[in-house]
């Protein structure tokens, strides 16, 4: 049985310490904050989690830790993507999928495959993956896009259940919503476009900012799903500056800096990522103090 992957999913960061080792104390605090914020599911080892610089043994430890600190039994989606189909098939064969409810797989990057190549890539993964697959379209990172026509072709595969759409192209999202099967999940991959995505047929978001403000994001998404767009916009307005900061300074770097300002985890990242400069850090700290300090419980 497929668990519910609607509402607010959190693309979890991977907290690190000053030695750039996984900070499990920070991760525990992050998970606690997330649980208290009533989010609906977690995404582990996605872009926000710095999956490309996390080693296989670390990924296993992180997943097991998250599973052991999941009192609400939230569904877990596992990030697994790349541009070498054969290698991904080998990885799928090696992973223990116990406790994993779905795989979130970014489209092949750098080698820029054709739409037929993208289709065949995902079909090969879905054919052998023991859990349902969610497509992930983020052209700004991959250099190519999954066209709506390709999404609809893939939506007919029994083991492909949805797409995280982070292209910023609402017209494409409208086309997908129009033509997809009723049970195929259209999920926003862009926090700032979540409300319009829901308005055209989306079922929620896989969110970055929900690491820091899970309750605010969850309340926003629930309001939108209940067609209370006035309330949803009110929640979004409280997060707008943080969306702009992340867009300017990059994710997960700025996301971690916001978390550091909230004393949830440290801001360390692994190369080639690097922290933002001191003036930018001060801007983040000032915004956290201005917007959140006295109302942190409402987030």
Residues identified as active-site:
136, 164
Task: Compute φ and ψ for 103, nearest 5 degrees.
Answer: -110, 130
Three-state SS string across 98-113, please? CCCCEEEEECCCCCCC
Specify whether the CB–CB gap between 257 and 232 falls below 8 A. no
* Euclidean distance between CA atoms 88 and 255, whole angstroms: 28
DSSP state of 180: S
Helix (H/G/I), strand (E/B), else coil: 9: strand
Count of C-beta atoms within a 10 Å radius of residue 156: 10
Q: What tokens were used for 179? A: 């033509």
The whole-angstrom separation of Cα 267 and Cα 264 is 10
CB 43 within 8 A of CB 15: no
User: What is the per-residue DSSP string for 241-266?
Assistant: HHHHHHHHH-TTHHHHHHHHHTTSS-
Residues near 268 by beta carbon (within 8 Å), at least 6 away in sequence:
16, 17, 18, 20, 23, 256, 275
Rounded Cα distance between 210 and 137, Å, is 20
Return the number of other C-beta atoms located less than 10 Å from residue 272's C-beta: 7
Two structure tokens written together for 138 = 């983020």
* DSSP of 121-168: HHHHHHHH-SS-EEEEE-HHHHSS---HHHHHHHHTSTTEEEEEE-S-
């Amino acid at each position: 049985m497929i668990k519910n992957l609607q509402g607010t999913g959190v693309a979890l960061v991977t907290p690190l310490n000053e030695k750039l080792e996984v900070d499990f104390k920070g991760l525990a605090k992050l998970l606690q904050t997330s649980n208290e914020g009533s989010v609906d599911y977690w995404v582990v080892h996605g872009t926000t989690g710095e999956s490309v610089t996390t080693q296989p043994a670390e990924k296993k430890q992180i997943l097991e830790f998250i599973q052991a600190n999941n009192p609400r039994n939230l569904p877990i989606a596992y990030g697994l993507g790349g541009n070498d189909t054969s290698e991904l098939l080998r990885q799928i064969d090696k992973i223990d999928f116990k406790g994993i409810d779905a795989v979130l797989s970014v489209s092949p990057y750098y080698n820029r495959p054709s739409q037929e190549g993208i289709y065949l890539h995902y079909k090969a993964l879905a054919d052998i993956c023991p859990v349902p697959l969610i497509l992930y379209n983020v052209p700004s990172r991959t250099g190519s896009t999954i066209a709506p026509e390709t999404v609809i072709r893939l939506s007919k595969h029994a083991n492909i259940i949805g797409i995280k759409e982070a292209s910023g192209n609402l017209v494409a999202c409208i086309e997908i919503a129009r033509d997809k099967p009723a049970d195929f999940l259209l999920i926003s991959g862009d926090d700032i476009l979540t409300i319009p995505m829901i308005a055209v047929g989306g079922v929620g978001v896989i969110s970055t900012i929900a690491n820091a403000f899970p309750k605010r994001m969850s309340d926003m998404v629930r309001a939108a799903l209940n067609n209370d767009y006035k309330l949803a916009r009110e929640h979004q307005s409280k997060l707008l500056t943080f969306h702009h900061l992340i867009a300017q300074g990059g994710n997960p770097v700025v996301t971690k800096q916001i978390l550091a300002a909230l004393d949830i985890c440290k801001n360390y990242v692994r190369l080639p990522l690097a922290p933002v400069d001191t003036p930018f850090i001060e801007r983040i700290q000032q915004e956290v103090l201005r917007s959140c300090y006295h109302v942190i419980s409402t987030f």
